[in-house]
Chains A and B, each alone.
Chain A
């Protein structure tokens, strides 16, 4: 069986650490911003109808 201690080479995006960090960091920021929009909309729903 394949030894898990010897991972197979994976096809990852090439590039230096910093641009990759920026790319993923932007995605994570976008997800956090979407969460902020959800909370804002739910808060408006609460305030409008309660």
Chain B
């Protein structure tokens, strides 16, 4: 693999620092709280659309998703099938309410609809899980990039963390919108360039149909499955229902997204921004997965590394050399087996492609079967390699999917483009993180600080507070990333924490929108009880954590109705619930 040269550094630093400095410069001198928290108020729909997309697509989307396509094919795209319908529902129901109420945060609306305690509960649920998530947003790409480029991990985390804190503090929501527009531009240009280089490096006699045939024959093009088997990981049904639920929670009740589309000057702009995502989200994810599938085809004709996380492989070989008493290193024997299995697969795939041009169906079928068998043999060696690496040192990673794309970039892309692709990963990390910090600071200022300390203060006071809270959350995220020593499992744990709280949070909003008879005390009690139930179930049951989104939301809605019915039997008191804005 190549190291970065001066050209890559110029492109990388020029892109990252250039966008950040431009964002600060363009938003300089803006000292208005509303602009700081909600942007200019004249953000056009396509900027809102790009901003929503940039906040959602983190660096790990661009690092890991091609690896997912390489390992498992296109099936993962089904996870996004529910998103268009969730976005339509949010555009039709959520946005008009948020815009009409003129709120800074989604949780402020809960205060208007219910009461102060429900507002604080919503804000607390958001701050807790998004605060943890902000650390992972920085850490996850830093660990991969610093490993392959041999950079100090803490320096990588600090560099990206401080840069994003600086421009988010300086420019607020307006700077986030502005920088995200250019960052997503860098991301698209970089990913398209990588795809073009990849296709150009396929064998010259391999047509695009041949490439798709090889990928399909090896099970990488099963994009849609209507199977009802609950054990099948990605299906049309789970994507449509589960995906819709997740998207509703994320886009409708998570302030990091709500803040992005509230920056439009009208309901129309906010709605069109979300419709932009409803239309382009699936093609974007499909494109990234297809890149991974093409990487799989590419590595039919170019020998892949034994393990894509090559520093981990090298370390495991050294560990095995020290600890083994056998003659010869077992990992080196596995490497030789991998090489032989690769040569066998390449020969069988070539025979299959040759057979396709004869038109003889029996010959094609037999050649395809041989190629599939050879591929299965190579995959079996890969599994043994993963197990051996883990056995050499239990702290070693057991999967290498996150390293597939970055290995290709560093091995086959020309200098300059390498710098651009590394910039893509950092741009994605910065854009997500900026959106999160901005939302965490807004929620802390509006829903906690201003709400709890009721003495009215000037706009300038709250603006200073917002800036301080941005710095505070930035450093919380940095501390989490620097000192938590996250493993793959801890990153997964971050996703689990999100799912444990998202369901109840969405439940609060769905009750607010659709269950008009329910009041604050009923929904608050239902949310607390539902959250406790979700946590108890998490510790006692072994079901997929994604189900907790559904369970938490459904429990909150049903219990709200039950509690409201019970409370209605109590003789009414004079109205005590007033607008808590």
State the A residues within 8 Å of B (CB).
1-8, 10-13, 24, 27-28, 31-32, 34-35, 38-39, 42-43, 45-46, 48-50
Contacts and interface: CB of A to CB of B under 8 A. Distances in A.
B223 A45 contact: yes
Given A31-B88, A31-B275, A31-B279, A50 B219 contact: yes
14 contacts: A1-B458, A5-B101, A5-B112, A10-B266, A11-B266, A13-B268, A31-B88, A35-B278, A39-B81, A39-B224, A42-B74, A42-B224, A43-B224, A46-B221
A6 B217 CA distance: 61
Given A31-B84, A31-B275, A6 B216 contact: no
B92 A46 contact: no
Contacts of B101: 4-5, 7
B88 A28 contact: yes
A24 B92 contact: yes
B73 to A, nearest CB: 9
B222 A12 contact: no
B84 A4 contact: no
Interface stretch (B102-110, B191-199, B433-441, B473-481): B102-110
A28 B579 contact: no
Given A5-B581, A31-B88, A31-B275, A10 B222 contact: no
B282 interface: yes
Contacts, number: 95
Given A7-B101, A42-B223, A42-B224, A34 B279 contact: yes
Nearest to A38: B282
Contacts of A13: 268
Nearest to B225: A46
A10 B99 contact: yes
A10 B267 contact: yes
Given A1-B456, A49-B216, A50-B221, 11 more contacts: A2-B34, A4-B581, A5-B581, A7-B99, A10-B99, A35-B84, A35-B278, A42-B77, A42-B224, A46-B221, A49-B215
The DSSP consensus for interface residues of chain B is helix
Contacts of A24: 91-92, 271
A39 B81 CA distance: 9
B301 interface: no
Given A12-B268, A31-B278, A35-B84, A7 B100 contact: yes
Nearest to A31: B278
B222 A46 contact: yes
A18 B111 CA distance: 30
A1 B219 CA distance: 58
B213 interface: yes
Interface string B507-539: 000000000000000000000000000000000
B236 interface: yes
B268 to A, nearest CB: 7
B459 interface: yes
A50 B221 CA distance: 6
Nearest to A28: B88
B224 A46 contact: yes
B212 interface: yes
Contact of B236 (A28, A34, A39): A39
Contact of A50 (B104, B216, B457, B579): B216
B102 A4 contact: yes
Contacts of A46: 221-225
Residue in A12, A13, A38 whose Cβ sees the most chain B Cβ within 10 Å? A38
B91 A49 contact: no
A32 B85 contact: yes
A32 B89 CA distance: 11
Nearest to B236: A39
Contacts of B275: 27-28, 31
Interface string B439-465: 000000000001000001111001000
A13 B108 CA distance: 26
B33 interface: yes
Contacts of B271: 24
A39 B243 CA distance: 15
A7 B81 CA distance: 35
A38 to B, nearest CB: 5
B265 interface: yes
Contacts of B92: 24, 28
Interface string B19-56: 00000000000000110000000000000000000000
Nearest to B461: A1
Contacts of A4: 101-104, 108, 112, 581
B81 A3 contact: no
Given A10-B99, A31-B279, A49-B213, A5 B579 contact: yes
A7 B459 CA distance: 17
Nearest to A41: B223
Interface in B458-498: 458-459, 462
Contacts of B458: 1
A12 B267 contact: yes
Interface in B44-98: 74, 77, 81, 84-85, 87-88, 91-92
Top 7 closest pairs, chain A to chain B, by CB: A49-B216, A7-B102, A5-B581, A42-B223, A49-B221, A43-B224, A35-B84
B91 A28 contact: yes
A9 to B, nearest CB: 10
B537 to A, nearest CB: 33
A10 B33 CA distance: 19
B283 interface: yes
Interface in B276-294: 278-279, 282-283, 286
